[in-house]
Amino acid sequence: MNRREALQRAGLVLGYAVSAPVLAGILNGCKAQPELTYKPVFFNEDQAGLISEVAEIIIPRTDTPGAKDTGVPGFIDQILRECYKKEDQDRFMAGLKAFDEGAKSSMGDSFMGLDPAKQQEYVKKVHDEAIAAKIDPKERPFILMVKELTVVGFFTSKPGATQVLQYEAVPGAFHGCLPLAEVGKTWATS
């Protein structure tokens, strides 16, 4: 539903008596934010929402679960909180802020305010620029840090490991006490 349609429907329901704050909210683009699938500890809720959307763009839901479905945003929150050094946390958070500000300057709205197609376009643009820059791995840009954490989080999750990667719960069967004739050879001894 676009803003015009929302105003028309609200006007019909309220008899064309829409209050100024409601009208201002609609005109300013108030819209429902995607729900968080976890309770953030390291991030605030806005930052967690942005991380969730970027992770879902990197690994979207197809015939297998996407990043949100497998708990990748919570994994990123936990890894940053428990494993990253303070200077790396600060660099990540500065990159997160710059990423959102870049969306405002180049796309006209904050990342979360963009429609999904524009979000994907912006992530692709920032990612392609980061790849082309060929920066020292220790100084990776924010988007590459998020990509790395997303991929690691996804493929270490149960759905990522069992539904996407080739998975064999026990790598080969153990057969003890076999007759030598069935084995076909013996171990070399010196």
Q: pLDDT tier at 50 (50, 70, 90 boundaries)? A: very high
Write out the residue range of the structural domain in which residue 26 sits.
1-31
Residue 16 lies in a domain: yes
138 and 44 inside one domain: yes
pTM to 2 decimal places: 0.69
Cα–Cα distance, 23 to 16 (Å, whole number): 11
51 and 122 inside one domain: yes
pLDDT in tens, 94-149: 999 999 999 999 888 889 988 999 999 999 999 999 888 877 777 888 899 999 99
Q: At 137, is the secondary structure helix, strand, or coil?
A: helix
Residue 189 lies in a domain: no
| Number of CB atoms found within 10 A of residue 5's CB | 9
Number of structural domains (the chain) is 2
24 and 109 inside one domain: no
pLDDT in tens, 52-84: 999 999 999 988 889 998 899 999 999 999 888
Residue 127 lies in a domain: yes
